């Protein structure tokens, strides 16, 4: 990955696992997922345009398109679902 610290990725993954556990245990996991993504986007110090572009990159990846270099996910093993 270009310009991305793997140690930071591990820290982020640990934080996300805690959020995912809470979402998975929620009475309505889908709503919890949507709310969590919205809240995460609100906490980011990125312009609305960059947040939207980032979500579009993730959507493309979920649709089976290869990650772009800009997304920071190029070269990351995305096979684990």
The structure tokens listed for 65 are 């398109």
Contact residues for 32 (Cβ-Cβ < 8 A; gap 6+): 22, 23, 26
| Mean pLDDT of the 1-14 span | 73
Reading the block at residue 79, the tokens are 């096979």
Cα torsion through 59, 12, 52, 46, rounded to 10: -170
Which residues, other chains included, contact 68 with Cβ-Cβ below 8 Å and sequence gap of 6+?
A: 57, 60, 74
Q: Using CA atoms, how far apart are residues 34 and 64, in angstroms rounded to an integer?
A: 21
| pLDDT computed for residue 75 by the predictor | 77
What are the tens digits of pLDDT across the range 12-70?
889 999 999 999 999 999 999 999 999 999 999 999 999 999 999 999 989 989 888 88
């Amino acid at each position: 990955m270009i310009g991305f610290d793997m140690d930071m990725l591990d820290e982020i993954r640990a934080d996300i696992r805690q959020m995912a556990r809470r979402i998975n245990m929620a009475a309505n996991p889908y709503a919890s997922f949507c709310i969590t993504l919205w809240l995460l986007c609100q906490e980011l110090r990125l312009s609305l345009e960059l947040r939207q572009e980032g979500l579009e990159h993730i959507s493309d990846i979920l649709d089976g398109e290869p990650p772009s270099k800009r997304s920071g996910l190029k070269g990351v093993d995305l096979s684990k679902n």
